[in-house]
Amino acid sequence: MAKDKKGSGIQQAAGLIRYFDEESEDAIQISKGMVYAACVVFSLTIYLQYNGVWAWMADVLSGIV
């Protein structure tokens, strides 16, 4: 049977948690609202492309010009 190492998991992860927990003042700040808005716009764009709305709009606009 394999021997269990006791206490090694928390000690090894502690340095990484401290390192990644720090935030830089110079870093780009992205809010949750911006992420949600980007996801909605991307999803809407894919939905409209899949259902042929972009092609329909191109046909309508080319008929006007």
**Digitized pLDDT (tens) for each residue of the chain, 65 residues in all:** 555 555 555 555 555 566 655 667 777 888 999 999 999 999 999 999 999 998 998 899 898 87
* pLDDT of 18: 60
Sign of the dihedral defined by the CA atoms of residues 34, 35, 38, 43, in that order: negative
Within 13 Å and on the Cβ side, how many CA atoms surround 15?
3
Sign of the dihedral defined by the CA atoms of residues 17, 18, 23, 24, in that order: negative
* pLDDT of 6: 55
* pLDDT of 63: 84
Residue 64 domain flag: yes
Residue 55 domain flag: yes
Residue 19 domain flag: no
Residue 5 domain flag: no
**Domains in the chain, number:** 1
d(CA 39, CA 33): 10
Residue 11 domain flag: no
Residue 17 domain flag: no
- Supply the range of the domain harboring residue 35: 31-65
